[in-house]
Structure 1
Amino acid sequence: MQNILIYTNVDKDIGLEVTKRLVDILKSHNKSIWINYRGVCEIELKEYCIELSEIPDKNIDIIMAIGGDGTILGLAREVYHYDVPIIGINLGRIGFLAEVEIGDMENIVTFLEKGKYEIEERIMVEASITSDPDRKDMIGLNDIVINRGSFSRMIEVEIHINGKYVDKYFADGVIISTPTGSTAYNLSAGGPLLMPDALMMVITPVCPHSLSARPIVVSYTHRICVKLSEEAENEKEVPMLTIDGQEGIELSGKEDIYIKKAEKTIKLIKPKGINYYDILRKKLN
């Protein structure tokens, strides 16, 4: 892995101190370095700065993301088409995806060069909506969520799987989560934890007005349809589709949203020897 792109969340790496330190580490190992971050490229690092669209031209082997899990979620959507593995350096709160802590950064090149890592392929989800069938950018690593707008009232949603009616929920919304996203909003809403490499998705209602509504785990090969049956009466009642909790799209109210596994996966680099159950205990307690 010779050509390395550093992707920095400037809101997390204040003053780019971690980025500069990582550049020095990589330079000491004679690596070819490129940098991308939101904001004006700092003058002393300007020679390394590229746009993400230049990844194929630079033959990038690996992306080192500096930030938190949210940074990796956003990056995963941006580099979805490039098939480049990502390793995360954690400056955030949780660190399920960004597993390398700052104190271990000095060893990052060593364990990569010695092959002391694994590449996990994580499935992603893709949504399409009847009002805008040609839109192609609704892809998430964690989840697709359909929820009520700013007005505090429930929405009515019907769930269909592979064209077959499953159930109707009166709820604040519904989450369609990947295994990666099962530790996020899905968990908070009472959904089950899935192993990261599980080939499944989970449908979890949010605050359903029912004693019987429960999450449903389905195969990743299934096509899910969420039907909204009511037109929004005003702009406050317009339901939203959100992707990884970072991007939001207003829905018309009476709409069909189709959700399936995305065509490609995202590749995450993990140091060998890490026990996922240890991470769960550490991060969620």
Structure 2
Amino acid sequence: MISEATQAVITHYERRHEFRGDVFGAQPYANYGYWARPDLTLEQASEALTDLVAASAGLGQGDKVLDVGCGYGAGAVKFVKRYDVDAVTGIDVTPVRIASGQDYIAEHSVADRITLQEGDATAMSFGDESFHKVVSVECAFHFDTREAFLKEAARVLVPGGTLALTDIIPRRGVDPSAYLTGETTNQSQVCLDMPANAYDADVYADLLRSTGFEAVRIESLLEWTRIPFADALARVAAASEGERAEQISRMATRIRQLIELGEDYVLVTARRS
């Protein structure tokens, strides 16, 4: 049974599917990017973030990888082509993304090593100890709940397997009610607030340990992700026209507001005990 909060996520990304257009370039990424250099394009920064997560997970030959919130499959294709993993299974709750992703992996001739399917991060259909690595890019803050996902991630990982993800959380000392106000998004007009997931890195780390993980590391990447992403969107807006320019500009402004109100962007790694 899909929860109301998860249905809102599905609705948001179905509506955003048409909006994204060519903002991210030819490859179907949809993340905030990792801006190691200020001159990167959105596409290059999105690819760099995917590489950062892959490297943090230690992806390599022989790995069976679960990509949770796989989107359009761009990350899965990179994991196979650059890191030569044995196989990638990607799950996502948004049907249009899975359908588009299946076309994308077929175009890249890697359908024999990648499986994309609809699936809920908090109630996975996979058996215990099915994967060596679990990765997730900018999704866990949407899960209803993140704690349920972490329990599932620990269950499907082999002992010693690695979890690597990027996530959005409040900074330490921030009252999440400052920005969890029930406001709807500019693009989809749905509310994506998830109060159950609004806790800082210390609580997050404790939660990872209590759900079966060790060697926990949580690192802020805000300066290299959300902040330069908002700047890049502003540049895209300046080069666009009409309503599209206004939509993109509003999105950049909203991201900056959320950062000012105390949101953080973090890289999380942990090892299954």
Whether TM exceeds 0.5 here: the answer is no
TM-score by length of 1: 0.29
Q: Which has the larger radius of gyration?
A: 1
TM-score by length of 2: 0.30
Question: Which is richer in helix?
Answer: 2
